Amino acid sequence: MRRKLLFGNWKMNKTREEAKAFAEEAKELDRFAKAHNIDIGVAPTFLSLCGVRKVNPDLCVAAQNCHFEDHGAFTGEISIPMLLDLGVTWCLIGHSERRTYFGETNEACNKKLKALFANNMTPIYCVGETLAEFEANKTKDVIKEQVLVGLEGLTKENVKKLVIAYEPVWSIGTGKNASTTIAEDICGYIRELVKGVFGEEASEEVRILYGGSVKPENVKAYLGEKDVDGALVGGASLKVESFRQLIENIL
Ligand code: PGA
């Protein structure tokens, strides 16, 4: 049985104080979610990872990116051992904003996924098509490439621990949700792709999230779908009250 997972992607929001205040308030929320078999987590900026961990060590905390090398001449980058040093064991990879604004490719994502697993971390690998690709009926081609190249060389055991987030680019931050039918169709398709390469067991264990304008009002419908195990939430994850509503509305 796959546990439900709700993850907040804070993007480039919140000062350290704001992040810590959220973490403090979220203590109660975390206990409440766990009591209902739901895992919750947040992805703050690098600067707030330490503070959030200190204030609320039980909350899953993810970095929003990492470098695949342990150290070296990579100005401006953060390595996996540096994240582990803070006790951070989760990391988003390949978010569409990283792909669009920072040129992140499927091949680079693959290197990062391998490096994260080599360090026993849990990646949340983001995939999704642009509006042009969606309108050209290319969604499945794009997803297939992102999944197959991104996961290339991983083991079955890796994939069992992996989280994949399907986020159509056209629905991120736009208020234009993908229908639950689309979400289920693509999340199910991703599970089939995983099954084809890594086998049935891995495909049954990999957790697949939907992301893109998820709000308290629509979260339950997505999570009611067979292959949707949770949600990656941007805007609606920034306030504790809204996060609380997301959890309550799933129950
Ligand atoms: P959104 O962002 O919920 O604000 O659409 C989702 C994401 O980018 O992960």
pLDDT digits (tens, 9 = 90+) for 35-86: 999 999 999 999 999 999 999 999 999 999 999 999 999 999 999 999 999 9
In this prediction, residue 175 carries a pLDDT of 87
The answer to whether 207 touches 6, Cβ cutoff 8 Å, is no
- In sign, the C-alpha dihedral spanning 114, 117, 118, 119 is positive
The answer to whether 104 touches 112, Cβ cutoff 8 Å, is no
In this prediction, residue 131 carries a pLDDT of 96
Enzyme catalytic residues:
95, 167
Atom of ligand 1 at shortest distance to CA of 174? 5
In this prediction, residue 1 carries a pLDDT of 81
**Centroid of ligand 1 to alpha carbon of 234 (angstroms):** 4
Ranges under pLDDT 50 in the chain: none
Domains annotated on the chain, with CATH: 4-250 (3.20.20.70)
In this prediction, residue 74 carries a pLDDT of 98
pTM of the full structure: 0.97
User: Pocket residues for ligand 1 (CB within 6 Å)?
Assistant: 9, 167, 172-173, 211-214, 232-236
- In sign, the C-alpha dihedral spanning 3, 59, 118, 103 is positive
Alpha carbon nearest to ligand 1 atom 3, residue: 234
Residues 6+ apart with CB under 8 A from 243: 6, 8, 26, 29, 40, 233, 236, 237
Q: What is the residue type of 71?
A: H
